[in-house]
Structure 1
Amino acid sequence: MTSSVRSRSEIRTEEEAMINQRLPKEDILRVFSYLDVVSLCRCAQVSKSWNILALDGSNWQKVDLFNFQTDIEGPVVEHISKRCGGFLKNLSLHGCKSVTDDALNTFADNCRNIEVLNLEDCKRITDHTAQSLSRYSKKLSQLNMVSCTAITDNALKSLSDGCHLLSHLNISWCDQISDNGIEALVRGCSHIKVLILKGCHSITDEGITHIGSHCKNLTTLNVQGCVLISDDGMIALAKGCRTLQSLCVSGCTHLTDNTLSAFSQFCPKIKTLEVSGCSQFTDNGFQALARTCIDLERMDLEECVLITDTALSYLALGCPMLQKLTLSHCELITDEGIRHIGTSGCSTEHLQVIELDNCPLITDSSLEHLMGCQGLQRIELYDCQLITRAGIRRLRTQLPNVKVHAYFAPVTPPPSVGGVRPRYCRCCTIL
């Protein structure tokens, strides 16, 4: 007697057959192309036909393995490269610390159309990986090697020899890189637009001068913490890279107003300027900058300890597009400076974030000056001793959606053991 009860596998087979009849393979492939890695792997377990389609190389043009970094070892990368082949264009191995040069050599050989590669924090790779990329990855345009501390100038020489389309490179905290590597890189990769060199402490004016001489299309440079750089290097850079839009020289303590004057003269298109810790900049430098750099949108002036309200008056007048302004630890700033920023016609429209941590002279009057900034989204006020809760409440009556981050010390003396502890706010919105 034949059983009338069908098994789950039979039902699933029928459902799959129905889907495959209604949807051609090309359409199923297109649906799969919108799925992430996890979803594709799940689809691959449904059936043999779906396994073939889900693992088709055309669905693996972009692969991000960051969420699986602890499980990724060399054989996994090699398998993916063989499966994806020439389809793969974008691969992130961010944090995959077990991946080695051998795996990346196999990857580069199999995936010769790679354009974007993220190797951040892949601690075991060395100059040999750069040699493999130079040999096989002729289309590579964006490379992230942050904290790949084993690479040296030889890696940059290899990239220069073979990766001539490179436009974005991040080698932050690769502390074996020197001026020689930078020179080799920019001579062969003249199309670089974005260069991030945070924490490359050996780079000097010589390396910066090479960048200025060869990278005419540079739009973004970050040399945070490169403490050997002086005005000479920055002036050479400004003269050569006149399309620069974003510059970070935070922690470059030897720079003076001459640097700001040079960028004012040669780089008027700058939109982002980060100069935190540049303690020799004065009001005069920002006066020069504000005279021509009218497109500035984001400025980080933290610990520019010599600037006064006068600098803010120049910025309020000359930089109408400012969206974010950091003035933390600028201890000479007073309510008058904030008045210039808060009451300028353009700031009331564009200003979104202002950071005033450790500005001991500002009071609730500064908050009143900011009440007209209808676009204001966040204000930082840690350790501003003259700001009160009442002042913050008045601000929020005018700007109910603004996030105010502040700190008020607990009541002293503290209550006795077992009593109710006072409530205070840190890193939260003040009500």
Structure 2
Amino acid sequence: MADILRLRAGLFCVFPYLDVRSLLRAAEVCSDWLFVARHPAVWTHLRLENARVSAEFLTTLSQWCTQTQSVVLHNLKPRSRRADETREDYHKNTRGVVEPGVEVLLRSAGGSLLHLSVAQCPHILTDRTLWLASCYSRNLNTLTYRSSSDPLGHEVLWALGAGCRNISSLQQQPTRFGNRCLQTIGRCWPRLQSLSVGGAGCGTQGLVALVRSCAQLQVLELERVSDLGLQAATALCEAGLKSVHTLILTHTPVSGQALLHFHSVCENIRSMGVEVSVSDYFEEPDSQEAQHLFWEILNTLKVLQKRPGLCDVL
């Protein structure tokens, strides 16, 4: 008996580091390996990536996920498309097909789940997944949701705010967001520390309301915000950003003056990342004038990179 306990204790030290496929195979070795491989303490972190999954498969996993703290679902795919099935019918028939399994999984994890990340699972996982999280994952701390087919909307955002009050990190793909969504985020999660938002509908007014409400923000990413000039930067700094140490601007047309203002006013800023393309600034990016003006913008940013005090930040 002592030897069995020592063996199981050793397996408990190793099995939590195995991926799902390896754990399922380990359960087939012998009864002791089966006992450990199916123990909820081994399934505290569930990561499924680049795989075809079904609702039935997730339902099977859920019986061992009563202590799961982290769930990562990235680039999952449904069944293959049948020969007599059009692409449109395929997307229609597989839409949300995995969500019944996700619901059982989230219900099983319950209050243990602290981290949920769903990215690039188009059609098979919709924003209903987040509505399910608002029902079962009341202690959720970090949430990432990126979907090209079903972006997060205001209704689901409101449900999340009502059900998951402890979220401190929210990352989502900015497509349908506007000022109304930004105001909802500020009201629901005033203790946010990390946030990624954006979209053409996000204006200065909504961003100002957001940073005023979320005074503890440390990491802020603005993606595809229509314009971020000196006036907008000044308004944001007056409203908040006192605790921000990392500012990431992704495909957001920003001016050199705005970057200088952020750097001079935000005392805790340690890193500013800028990723832009010519299409972010101009409606006709292929025109000669647009190319010339964008070249000047890039030169300005490169000059700022070499500026004393900014070279280690930008």
Name the TM tier (shorter chain).
0.7 to 0.9
How big is the shift at 1:358?
7.9
How big is the shift at 1:65? 4.7
**Runs of 5+ in structure 1 lacking a partner?**
1-24, 30-51, 67-71, 88-106, 334-355, 380-431
SS at match of 2:17: strand
Structure 2 CA distance for partners of 1:159 and 1:75, relative to 1, 3 Å: closer
**Deviation digits for residues 97-151 of structure 1 (CA, Å, limit 9, x no counterpart):** xxxxxxxxxx6xx222221121122x12222233234433211110111112336
The structure that has the greater radius of gyration is 1
> CA 1:262 to 1:79, structure 2 compared with 1: closer, same or farther past 3 Å?
farther
| Paired position in structure 2 for 1:36 | none
SS of equivalent to 2:74: coil
Cα distance in 2 between the residues matched to 1:274 and 1:240: 19
Mapping 1:55-74, distance limit 5 Å? 56-65=10-19
Residues 31-42 of structure 1: pairs in structure 2 closer than 5 A: none
Change (3 A) 1:329 1:373: closer
| 2:56 alignment partner in structure 1 | 128
2:159 aligned with 1:210, yes or no?
yes
Contact preservation (8 Å) 2:143, 2:169: yes
Contact 1:160 1:186 in 2 (8 A): no
Deviations 1:201-240 (A, max 9, x none): 313222222222222110111112x412322222212210
Once residues 290 and 80 of structure 1 are traced to their aligned partners in structure 2, the CA distance between those partners, rounded to angstroms, is: 60
1:163: which partner in 2?
A: 109
DSSP-derived class of the 1:327 partner: strand
Is 1:193 aligned to residue 193 of structure 2?
Answer: no
Identify the residue that residue 253 of structure 1 maps to in structure 2. 200
Supply the distance in 1 between the matched residues of 2:301 and 2:154 (Cα, whole angstroms): 42
Percent sequence identity is 14
1:282-431 aligned within 5 A: 282-291=229-238, 292-305=240-253, 307-329=254-276, 359-362=297-300, 366=304, 369-370=307-308, 372=309, 376=312
Whether the 8 Å CA contact 1:328–1:359 is kept in 2: the answer is no
Task: Report the structure, 1 or 2, having the larger strand content.
Answer: 2
Cα separation, partners in 2 of 1:230 and 1:173, compared to 1, 3 Å: same
TM-score calculated relative to the size of structure 2: 0.73
**Distance change >3 Å, CA 198–CA 59, structure 1 → 2:** same
CA shift, 1:321, in A, is 1.6
Give the TM-score taking structure 1 as reference length.
0.55
Letter paired with 1:293: L
Name the CA distance, whole Å, in 1 between partners of 2:116 and 2:219.
Answer: 19
Q: 1:365 to 1:232 in 2, by over 3 A?
A: closer
Quick one: structure 1 residues 323 and 158, their matched pair in 2 at CA, closer, same or farther if it must change by over 3 Å? Answer: same
- Tell me the equivalent position of 2:129: 181
Matching residue of 1:100: none
Q: Which amino acid aligns with 2:233?
A: F
Q: For residues 240 and 323 of structure 1, do their structure 2 counterparts lie closer, same or farther at Cα, with a shift above 3 Å needed? A: same
Higher share in helix: 2
Distance 1:216 1:148 in 2: 28
* In structure 2, distance between residues paired with 1:369 and 1:163: 50
Q: Give 1:83 deviation, angstroms.
A: 4.5
Q: Which has the higher contact order (CA 8 A, sep 6+)?
A: 2
CA distance, structure 2, for counterparts of residue 286 and residue 235 of structure 1: 18
Deviation by residue 1:3-38 (Cα, 9 ceiling, x = unmatched): xxxxxxxxxxxxxxxxxxxxxx99xx9xxxxxxxxx
CA deviations on 1:378-407 (whole Å, 9 max, x unpaired) are: 86xxxxxxxxxxxxxxxxxxxxxxxxxxxx
Please provide the CA RMSD for this pair.
Answer: 3.6
